[in-house]
Amino acid sequence: MKVKEINKTKNQQSGLDSPVNCEAPNMQQVPETPVQLLKYLIVGVLFGIVFVKAEIISWFRIQEMFRLQSFFMYGVIGSAILVGIVSIQLIKRFNIKSMDGEPIKIADKEFRKGQVVGGFIFGLGWALTGACPGPIFAQIGSGFTVVGVTLLSAIFGTWVYGKFAHKLPN
Amino acid sequence: MDQVIEWIRQPWPWYVAGPLIGLTVPALLLLGNKSFGISSSLRHICAACMPAKIPFFEYNWKKEMWNLVFVFGIFLGGVLATLWLSNPDSIVVAESTQEDLRVLGITDFSKLMPSELFHWGNLFTLKGLFFFVIGGFMVGFGTRYAGGCTSGHAIMGISNLQWPSLVATIFFMLGGFAMTHIFLPVIMGWIGI
C-alpha cells in the first residue's frame, strides 16, 4: 500500500496521472539523454537477433505451440520466466541498485477484467498473425514488410481501446 | 572463428533463446529501472502521433522514449540477423503441424512465414483483411485492454510473481487455442487458398 501511494504521488508529479497509468512505467528518477538511450537500442538489437535466430518470429512456431505439437515455444517462454524469477529474486534479496544507484522499483499489476477479455482477444490475434507486439518489429526487420500493415492495425487497435477505455468493463 | 559463425547461423535451441530473453528482465532493470514490456510502445506511438485529447493518451510519453528506442532496436536486430546471420536451410516445422496446415491449404514451409498468406499481393483480399488488418487490430486492442502482452505479463509479470499476469497469460493461451482450433478452419474456408 505504501509503495502504491508513493507511485501515485510520483506519477502525479511526472504528469503520468492518466485514468489508467502506463503499465510498465519508467521508474528512473533522473532523466536520460538521447545518448544514454542508446543502451536500450543495443538491448533491443540483441533481443531482435534472438527472436530471428530462434525462429520465434515464425508463424509456424506459434501454430506448433497452439497445436501442442512442439515443445519449443513452451521451452522458450518457460525458461525465460525461470531466469526472470531468479533475477528479480536476487535483485530484491540483495537490494541491488540500478546503474545510476537508484533502488529498483517494479510496479505491481492490479487485476482488471481486461486481463480476461482483452487477454482472450489478444490470443485470437496472436494465433492469426503469428505475432505478439515484440516479434512484429522483428518480422518487419527480417523482410516481411507486409507485417507493417499488421503493425499499423495494431496501433489503430490500441488507439480504439484508448478512445473507448472508459466505456469498457474494467 | 568460422566455426563460431557457423554455429550462430544454425537455428538457436530453446534453452539458449529462452534464458537470453529472460535476461532482458534484469538487464532493463539494472540499466535504468525499466520494466520489460513491449506493447506499451504501441500506446506511446498513439500518444505521440494522435492523442486526439483522449485521456488515455494524455501522459508524458517522452519519459517513456526508451521503450520506442528499444522496439526500434528489435526491428534493427531483425534486419541484422537476416542479413548476416541467417540460416541457409529452410525452417523445420513439426510434421504433424505441416499435416494439419496442409488441410487448411498452407503448403509452403520453406520460410519463417507462410508465403501463401504474408505477401503484399494479399493486402486488399480477404486474406489480408483477416491476417493483417483484423489480426493486427486484435493484437493492439487486446494487449492494451489486458494491460500488457507476452513480454509485460507472461515474462515480466509472472517473473515478479504477479497473479493478474498469470491470469492474463492463461487467457492469451485460451484465445490462441480457440483461434487455432475453432475459428481458423472456418476463416480458411471463407478465404479459400
Cβ under 8 Å to B: A residues 78-107:
78-85, 87-88, 90-91, 96, 98-100, 102, 104-107
d(CA B20, CA B12): 11
What was the pLDDT predicted at B101?
96
The pLDDT of residue A11 is above 70: no
The predicted-structure confidence for A135-153, as pLDDT tens digits, reads as follows 999 999 999 999 999 999 9
d(CA B119, CA B176): 23
The pLDDT of residue A22 is above 70: no
The pLDDT of residue B6 is above 90: no
What was the pLDDT predicted at A21?
61
What was the pLDDT predicted at B89?
84
Give the model's confidence band at B56: pLDDT under 50 very low, under 70 low, under 90 confident, else very high: very high
Residue whose C-alpha is closest to residue B153's, from B62, A70, B75, B161: B161
Cβ under 8 Å to A: B residues 138-157:
138-157
Averaged pLDDT, B134-141: 98
What was the pLDDT predicted at B184?
97
Which residues, in sequence order, are CB contacts of A20 under 8 Å at separation 6+? A165, A170, B56, B147
Would you call A6 an interface residue with chain B, using a CB distance cutoff of 8 Å?
no
- pTM comes to 0.92
The pLDDT of residue A15 is above 70: no
Closest-approach residue (CA) in chain B for A30:
B32
Closest-approach residue (CA) in chain A for B86:
A53
Residue whose C-alpha is closest to residue B82's, from A57, A121, A119, A14: A57
Residue showing cell 485514468: A19
The complex's ipTM works out to 0.95
> Can you state the percent helix, strand and coil of chain A, rounding each to 5?
65, 0, 35
Averaged pLDDT, B152-172: 96
The predicted-structure confidence for B16-54, as pLDDT tens digits, reads as follows 999 999 999 999 999 999 999 999 999 999 999 999 999
d(CA A82, CA B19): 8
How many beta-carbon pairs below 8 A join chains A and B?
A: 551
What was the pLDDT predicted at A25?
80
- Do B26 and A62 count as a contact with CB atoms less than 8 A apart? no
C-alpha cell recorded at residue B123: 493486402
Q: Across chain B, where does the E strand assignment appear?
A: none
